[in-house]
Amino acid sequence: MIDYNGFGVFRYIRRNLNVIPSRRLRKPYTTDGRRPAEMQRFRALASARRSIPSLRRALSTTRPSSVHDDELQDEVLVEGKAAARTAILNRPSALNALTNSMGIRLKKLYESWEDNPDVGFVLMKGSGKAFSAGGDVVTLYRLLNEGKVENCKDFFRNFYMFIYIVGTYLKPHVAILDGITMGGGAGVSIPGTFRIATDKTIFATPEVHIGFHPDAGASFYLSNLDGHLGEYLALTGEKLNGVDMLAVGLATNYSMSDRLDWVDERLAKLMTDDPSEIDSTLAQYGDIVYPDKNSIVHRLEVIDKCFGHETVEEILDALETEAARSNQDWCISALKKLKEASPLSLKVSLRSIREGRLQTFDQCLVREYRMSLHGISKLVSNDFCEGVRARLVDKDLVPKWDPPVLEKVSEDMVDHYFSPLGEFEPDLKLPTHLREAFV
Residue 81's pLDDT is: 86
Residue 20's pLDDT is: 25
Within 10 angstroms of residue 130's Cβ, the number of other Cβ atoms is: 24
Closest CA to 334 of 346, 226, 344, 214: 346
Closest CA to 154 of 435, 372, 424, 8: 372
pLDDT averaged over every residue in the chain: 86
Sign of CA dihedral 162, 150, 418, 425: negative
Q: Which residue has the higher pLDDT, 70 or 28?
A: 70
Mean pLDDT (whole number) for 165-170: 95
Catalytic residues: 135, 184, 207, 215
Mean pLDDT (whole number) for 221-233: 97
Distance CA 224, CA 239 (A): 18
- In the predicted model, is pLDDT for residue 4 greater than 60? no
Percent of the chain with pLDDT over 90: 77
Confidence of residue 423 (pLDDT cuts 50, 70, 90): confident
Report the C-alpha dihedral over residues 336, 208, 292, 260, rounded to 10 degrees. -150
| Span 175-197, pLDDT tens digits | 999 999 999 999 999 999 999 99
Residue 334's pLDDT is: 96
- In the predicted model, is pLDDT for residue 21 greater than 80? no
Mean pLDDT (whole number) for 351-374: 97
Query: What single-letter DSSP state applies at residue 389?
Result: I
The letter for the amino acid at 420 is: P
Distance CA 100, CA 67 (A): 9
Residue 396's pLDDT is: 96
| Span 72-118, pLDDT tens digits | 679 999 999 889 999 999 999 999 999 999 999 999 999 999 999 99
| Span 380-415, pLDDT tens digits | 999 999 999 999 999 999 999 999 999 999 999 999
- In the predicted model, is pLDDT for residue 70 greater than 80? no
- In the predicted model, is pLDDT for residue 206 greater than 80? yes
- In the predicted model, is pLDDT for residue 429 greater than 70? yes
DSSP output for 337-364: HHHHS-HHHHHHHHHHHHHHTTS-HHHH
- In the predicted model, is pLDDT for residue 300 greater than 90? yes
Distance CA 359, CA 374 (A): 20
Beta strands in 156-276 (DSSP E): 173-177, 180-182, 194-197, 202-204, 240-241, 253-254
Confidence of residue 71 (pLDDT cuts 50, 70, 90): low
Residue 51's pLDDT is: 43
Contact indicator for 144, 192 with CB cutoff of 8 Å: no
pTM confidence score:
0.84
Mean pLDDT (whole number) for 205-230: 97
Domain 1-17+29-424 classification at class level? alpha beta
76-81 and 194-197 strand pairing: unpaired
Confidence of residue 48 (pLDDT cuts 50, 70, 90): very low
DSSP output for 5-57: TTTHHHHHHHHHHTPPPPSSPPPSS-SS----THHHHHHHHHHHHTT-HHHHH
Residue 97's pLDDT is: 97
Distance CA 208, CA 60 (A): 31
Helix, strand, coil percentages, rounded to 5, for the chain: 50, 10, 40
Residue 197, CA distances (Å) to 92, 178, 244, 286 in order: 19, 6, 9, 10
- In the predicted model, is pLDDT for residue 16 greater than 50? no
Closest CA to 317 of 331, 330, 296: 331
Report the C-alpha dihedral over residues 310, 314, 315, 321, rounded to 10 degrees. -140
- In the predicted model, is pLDDT for residue 28 greater than 70? no
Contact indicator for 349, 208 with CB cutoff of 8 Å: yes
